[in-house]
């Protein structure tokens, strides 16, 4: 299993609303990220579009249904289809979330929380080992947004993630919006969270918007807020040059609006890394 080298660049999620922009012109991004499950098929227009975009840009495969925390283990058919897609697209890397999504028979299509226990840690590590073995590559694991905790939790989420990295050799996708959302919902300190991670294993950062309220919800349907931008600056200063990706999955605006927001990430990173924008 080979290491994943750092990649310093700025990208967007490839969404259907912007297919034409990417196919017909030159979009000023360093990579695109796609939801893996949308392309794990044989043929069809989305896969043809992805292949054409891949000819122009590096691609990251970002999964939402591996169910890395499933006590039933991983779905072997899912792993086979993901491996086939990775073989076709040759992505920068493959990522998924610290969560579970399914039972042995049903997929919830949601990123469900895990108890932060040693038992759950064993399951997650076994599943990551299996996924990395099946794919023949190291993976990135993303911290999720969280809306509840378990009374039996035995460690913090950042300690859990650090233990996963030590035991499996995987890398991290640090979603700073998710850190902010979870901190608002649970009352922990965002600086302590980020500092507690093995930052040398972070290869990518996600930025997104959320819906404020008594419970803060990770919605990906609006601009990044000032507090998350500040947390991004803090993370970049600690992590060094890594890939940054802006997520928008609902109320998707015209491409120029997203590119302007991505330029803000470039400016912040250039300031904190002291490199040209």
Residue 2 lies inside a defined structural domain of this protein = no
Determine the distance from the C-alpha atom of residue 277 to the mean position of all C-alpha atoms in its chain, rounded to a whole number.
24
**pLDDT more than 90, % of the chain:** 89
Residue 5 lies inside a defined structural domain of this protein = no
Residue 140 sits in a domain whose CATH number is 3.20.20.150
Residue 21 lies inside a defined structural domain of this protein = yes
The pLDDT confidence band at residue 271, using thresholds 50, 70 and 90, is confident
Residue 4 lies inside a defined structural domain of this protein = no
* Separation of alpha carbons 244 and 267, rounded Å: 12
How does pLDDT run across 85-106, given as a tens digit for each residue?
999 999 999 999 999 887 655 6
pTM for the model: 0.95
Residues 197, 162: contact at Cβ < 8 Å?
yes
pLDDT higher than threshold 50 for residue 177: yes
Q: Mean pLDDT, to the nearest integer, of 127-140?
A: 98
Domain extent, residue 151, equals: 10-273
- Closest residue by Cα to residue 191 from 246, 237, 242: 237
* Residue found under tokens 């959320």: 210
Residue-level pLDDT at 277:
43
Residues 223, 212: contact at Cβ < 8 Å?
no
Residue-level pLDDT at 220:
92
pLDDT higher than threshold 80 for residue 216: yes
Residues 6+ apart with CB under 8 A from 194: 158, 174, 176, 179, 231, 234, 235, 238
* Separation of alpha carbons 266 and 270, rounded Å: 6
Domain count, the chain: 1
**Residues forming a β-bridge with 11:** 31, 245
pLDDT higher than threshold 80 for residue 31: yes
């Amino acid at each position: 299993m080979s290491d994943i080298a750092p990649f310093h660049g700025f990208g967007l999620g490839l969404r259907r609303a912007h297919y034409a922009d990417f196919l017909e012109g030159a979009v000023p991004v360093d990579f695109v990220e796609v939801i893996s499950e949308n392309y794990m098929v044989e043929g069809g227009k989305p896969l043809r579009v992805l292949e054409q975009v891949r000819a122009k840009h590096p691609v990251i495969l970002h999964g939402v249904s591996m169910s890395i925390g499933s006590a039933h283990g991983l779905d072997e058919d899912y792993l086979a289809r993901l491996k086939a897609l990775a073989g076709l697209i040759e992505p920068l890397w493959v990522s998924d979330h610290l969560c579970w999504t399914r039972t042995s028979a049903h997929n919830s299509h949601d990123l469900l929380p895990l108890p932060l226990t040693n038992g759950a840690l064993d399951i997650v590590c076994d599943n990551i080992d299996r996924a990395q073995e099946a794919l023949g590559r190291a993976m990135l694991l993303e911290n999720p947004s969280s809306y509840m905790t378990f009374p039996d939790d035995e460690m913090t989420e950042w300690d859990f993630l650090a233990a996963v990295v030590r035991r499996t050799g995987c890398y991290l996708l640090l979603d700073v919006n998710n850190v902010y959302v979870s901190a608002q919902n649970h009352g922990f300190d965002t600086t302590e969270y980020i500092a507690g991670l093995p930052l040398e294993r972070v290869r990518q950062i996600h930025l997104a918007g959320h819906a404020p309220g008594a419970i803060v919800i990770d919605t990906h349907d609006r601009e990044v807020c000032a507090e998350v931008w500040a947390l991004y600056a803090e993370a970049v200063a600690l992590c060094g040059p890594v890939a940054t990706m802006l997520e928008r999955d609902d109320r998707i605006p015209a491409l120029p609006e997203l590119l302007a927001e991505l330029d803000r990430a470039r400016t912040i990173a250039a300031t904190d890394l002291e490199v040209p924008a």
